Amino acid sequence: MTISIDLIKELRDRTGAGILACREALEETNGDLEKAVALLRERGLAAAAKRADRETHDGVLDLYNHGDGRVGVIVEVNCETDFVARTEEFRHFAHEMALQIAATSPHWIRVEDIPEAVIEEERQNARIWARESGKPENVIERIVEGRLGKFYDDNCLLRQPYIRDDAKTVDELLKEMIAATGENVAIRRFVRWTVGEELE
């Protein structure tokens, strides 16, 4: 089967994968664009998992301010080499993370970063809410876990829906960047300020 340049370009635009990888995925899926996207994502996730333990000592800081300087964000995104850190794609990804943080106000990067005391307080609040709402005892723990999951989705950057495409999470976007660069990429830390907010 002959794969058109336009189809390869469309797949590349959607996934960020290399031209050769796009051609191979389209050949394997007989030109089915959606199946090729799924195949590349699957391969990207596998590649990302293999790279997860590699050291990330290079990278960039992205600074972003929004609303005439009313909200400010600094985010540090790391990679393995200076070569990748200087690429337009990597810098664009870092900037997208700054925009995401400005728009969604996460408190932590991942669930593992949340202090156990905060999780326990959320758990207790969910139990109290469920009991006060008259929910049967045999479903309360499921309700608690559901509300905890929602809390994680709202407050952990990697679990949030990506602001430009809510069909994917920030974690999926990160894995796509790992697959595209061929290096481990990590969001190391961030700070978000709003003018007039209380200092902790």
Instruction: Summarize pLDDT for 67-90 with one digit per residue, the tens.
Output: 888 999 999 999 988 899 999 999
Q: Which CATH number fits domain 58-110+156-194: 1.10.10.10, 3.10.129.10, 3.50.50.60, 3.30.479.20?
A: 3.30.479.20
190 phi and psi angles, rounded to 5 deg: -155, 160
Q: Is the pLDDT of residue 51 over 70?
A: no
* Of the candidate ranges 106-110, 112-116, 131-135, 165-169, the one whose mean pLDDT is the lowest: 131-135
Residue range(s) occupied by CATH 1.10.286 in the chain: 115-154
CB distance 180 to 17 below 8 Å: yes
Q: What is the pLDDT of residues 154-180, one digit of tens each?
A: 999 999 999 999 999 999 999 889 888
Q: For residue 54, what pLDDT is reported?
A: 62
What is the CATH architecture assignment of 115-154?
Orthogonal Bundle (1.10)
Q: Which residue has the higher pLDDT, 54 or 185?
A: 185
Residue 11 neighbours by CB under 8 Å, 6+ apart: 17, 22, 25, 26, 33, 36, 37, 40
Residue range(s) occupied by CATH 1.10.8.10 in the chain: 5-51
**Cβ atoms within 10 A of the Cβ of 103, count?**
14
- Domain 5-51: give its CATH code: 1.10.8.10
pTM of the full structure: 0.70
Residue range(s) occupied by CATH 3.30.479.20 in the chain: 58-110+156-194
C-alpha 84/C-alpha 70 separation (Å) is 32
